[in-house]
Every structure is written in C-alpha cells, then in structure tokens.
Structure 1
C-alpha cells in the first residue's frame, strides 16, 4: 500500500510539473481562390473567413495547433487581368469549412511566462487540413458553371506569421496561409465525372489553391510549463 501511495504521488507530481500553457482564441480575415477561374494573384482577399483556434504550447519553440474556420471562396473571370478569362466570363461562389491540425514552429523562443523578455516572434505552421466545399461543373450548353454537389477534400496548409504579446494573457498574430488542395475541382474545371454533359477546362495538371490572410487573438492559460519533453 505504501509503495502504491508513493507511486501515485510521484505520478501526480510529474503531471503537475509538466503542465503546459494553452491558448484559445479567434481568427478573422479574408480569403481568395487561386485556380482556373478569376484572378491569378496569390494574395488578393475578396471574401470573409472566421473561426476558432487552439494551441498547446509544448515548448518555447513549438506548439500543437488545431483550428476550425468558415469561409467563402468567390472568383470571377471579370476580375482577372487575363483578357481570355475576361472574355470567357466564368464565375462561382462556394462555402468552405475546414478543420486543421498540425504543428507551429517559432523562430525565436516565445514563453508567455517570461513576461516581455521575448515579446514577439515570426512562426511557421503546417499539418493537415480536411475541408468541405461546394463543387461545380461546366455546362457546355449554358457555357456557365453550375452547382454539382458538395465534397470533402484534403489540403496541406503552409502558413507564415508574426505574433506578439499584448499583455501576459493575450497574444495577437498576423498570418498569411496558403492551402494546397488535392483537388482540381474547387472551380469546376475538372469535375472528374463520366457524365458527358460536363466539360473540362483550364490546366488540368495543376490542383487548386486557396489563401487565408488574417489576424488571430488568443487567450493563454495554464500553469507555468516545464518544457522538459516533446
């Protein structure tokens, strides 16, 4: 019994000693699409994105991160600088919901418990994204994109940002994030269906991308971490 109690207290002390700092907060910004319809600019927000974000800071240099974001993706050939797209005149508007899980890496040590000794750092984030979106197809009779269905697809997020302490409990960050998707049909250019009523267009060798540009504000809580393990 004595050995059991000693083991139990030792385990509790270890768990308490490695308690980590957590962050929860909000994300808000703009979204834009990069594909075979609309502008080809990489950073050109024209719709709204918002959602929630959470982090588990495992060290002063890295954190596990999860987020759920809601966005619209709007694209119109009339906004493009390409005269061929302007003449074609395709357009679409899609609802997108994404869940993302991955790791955030800080370029410099960023420890909320050290006050303002290290108040800011650039960072990178990547992982895996699973997202829901409306899908489209080109109707050759109407020569226009029509709603086809909705789909779930995968993407790889590639995010760069800069964050700074507002005070001892809040962190404000600005970030730019590209999502490389595993589909070429966010814009209906490659529906991948055997239905002969739909046609392909554009470059079918390149998958679609979408971009989020925004701000995050997170609240930090939890005991001072040990940072003694992964």
Structure 2
C-alpha cells in the first residue's frame, strides 16, 4: 500500500513539475502572491456516510501563489483545523448500534495547480491585457501531505498523502488585493481519520476496509499581489 501511494505521489509531482516547465517556457513575467484563508474542514467516512454541513469545524491556511500566466498558477499552502464525525443522531440501524463519534486535529502542506477559466489579472503591458478579467472561476488539483492522529485512543500521530481536487473563484479587488473562495475535496489513502478501521470502535462493528476516508475544506481567501519588475535591456556597442 505504501509503494502504491509513493508511486501515485511521484506521478502527480512529476506532472506538476512538467506543467510548470511548459508554463515557464511560454511566459515573460511572473506575479507573486501571499495570502491568508479562513473556513472549515469536513469529513466523510464510516461515521459520516454522507456529506453533513453540521460537521464543519474551523480551519485556516497560509499560502503563496506563483502566477505563471493569467491562466496558470501554482499554490503552496500550509493548512490546519479540526475534523469531526458522529453517528449519535443517525437513523441508520448499523450506525445507531455502533454510536461512534470522533474529533481530530489535522495539519497539511500542499502543492496545487490552478487553472483559471478566464485570463485573470493580466499585466497592463501584456498582449492579453485587453482580454483580461477581474473575476474568474478556476479548477484546482495537486498533492497534499497531512498529519493527524492514527489511534484516537492513544494519540499516536501519522503522516499520509491526499489528492486535492476542487473549484473556486478569484476576484481582483484592486491592483494588489484579491478575494477568493474555494471548495476542495481531499481523497486520502487511509481509513484511519475517524478511528474506525479493520479493528473495532467501542468493541463494536468494524469499519469498511474497502473504502478510504475523505476530508474537505471550504473557505475564503485574501491575498496581496507583488508584480515583478522588468529591467530594461542594455546594449553595448
């Protein structure tokens, strides 16, 4: 299982670096951003078979975004927050019997590619400036590494890989300030987020070993843009 996760992570990282290389080869200037985000994490797994908005718990992120062009960007982020799930009010017979509930903390680092559907915030002196937009939806996907508790009884932590996939929007408030929002789902390769796995919880029914847990982040972001300055070429006779 670890070899499979390593292969998947390696392929995703290779695809990201290849995409960055192609983008850099076709762009003259880069735009840098730093930002903060606030929102909430959610979870689905054995203790939450369906997405439940009542299970949201606070979360936040700090990120750096490198805009290779008005269409393509790469974002690196550090995120943290809580996840929660419960069967205490479930009407499902199995869940009602098991009566499982968990609370967990989570930290994450990620590298995510963003594809803007419109030319977003093109530099004024570029050929794309006339067709640029102050607002754009975007698609995002990449790789994340997260840390949380493996055994909720003992507090032992574990490190794992997730695949983030989501949608968002960006809005240019001014020349330097931007507002954004997104919903990103993380597919994990573990069934340990909620403490229900091949073993038991409260000495009752085991978890579903054929399915892995997911976690989600929904939030708003504010970022500040730094435009790169082009130095004029100097020619010597």
Mark the CA change 1:42 to 1:209 in structure 2 (over 3 Å): closer, same or farther.
Answer: farther
User: Using a 3 Å threshold, how does the CA distance of structure 1 residues 53 and 200 change in structure 2: closer, same or farther?
Assistant: farther
Cα distance in 2, alignment partners of residues 175 and 72 from structure 1:
18
Match of 1:10 in 2: none
Query: Quick one: distance in 2 between partners of 1:124 and 1:224?
Result: 28
Q: 2:65 aligns with which of 55, 74, 77?
A: 55
**CA distance, structure 2, for counterparts of residue 224 and residue 80 of structure 1:** 58
Cross-structure match for 2:142: 127
User: Does 2:151 match 1:136?
Assistant: yes
Among 217, 221, 225, the residue aligned to 1:216? 221
Counterparts of 2:77 and 2:190, CA distance in 1: 21
Where 2:88 maps in the other structure, the secondary structure is helix
Cα deviation, 1:118-139, whole Å, max 9, x if unaligned, reads 11111011111000001236xx
Q: CA RMSD in A?
A: 2.7
Task: Name stretches of at least 5 consecutive residues in structure 1 with no aligned partner.
Answer: 1-16, 138-145, 226-230
CA distance in 1, matches of 2:228, 2:55: 38
Q: Whole-Å Cα distance in 1 between the matches of residues 89 and 137 of structure 2?
A: 33
> In structure 2, the residue corresponding to 1:113 is in which secondary structure?
coil
TM-score (norm 1): 0.77
Q: Secondary structure at the match of 2:175?
A: coil
Q: 1:67 to 1:211 in 2, by over 3 A?
A: same
| Unaligned 5+ runs, structure 2 | 1-26, 231-237
Q: In structure 2, what is the Cα distance between the partners aligned to 1:222 and 1:161?
A: 23
Q: CA–CA distance in 2 between the matches of 1:188 and 1:101?
A: 27
Return the match for 1:159 from 151, 154, 166.
166
The structure with the largest alpha-carbon Rg is 1
* Contact 1:30 1:213 survives alignment (8 Å): yes
Tell me how far 1:168 sits from its aligned partner.
1.2
Q: Distance in 1 between matches of 2:229 and 2:113?
A: 20
1:178/1:211 contact within 8 Å kept: yes
Distance 1:42 1:129, change over 3 A: farther
TM score, norm. by length of structure 2: 0.75
Which shows bigger deviation, 104-113 or 206-215?
104-113
Q: Distance in 1 between matches of 2:156 and 2:203?
A: 13
Summarize deviations over 1:46-89 as a string: whole Å, max 9, x none.
20110201100001110111000011011111244534313321
Task: Verify: 1:169 aligned to 2:176, yes or no.
Answer: yes
Number of equivalent positions:
198
**Cα distance in 2, alignment partners of residues 66 and 49 from structure 1:** 16
**What's the offset of the Cα at 1:94?**
0.8
Indicate the structure with greater strand content.
Answer: 1
Deviation at 1:102, TM superposition (A): 2.3
Do the aligned residues in 2 keep the contact of 1:61 with 1:107 (CA within 8 Å)?
A: yes
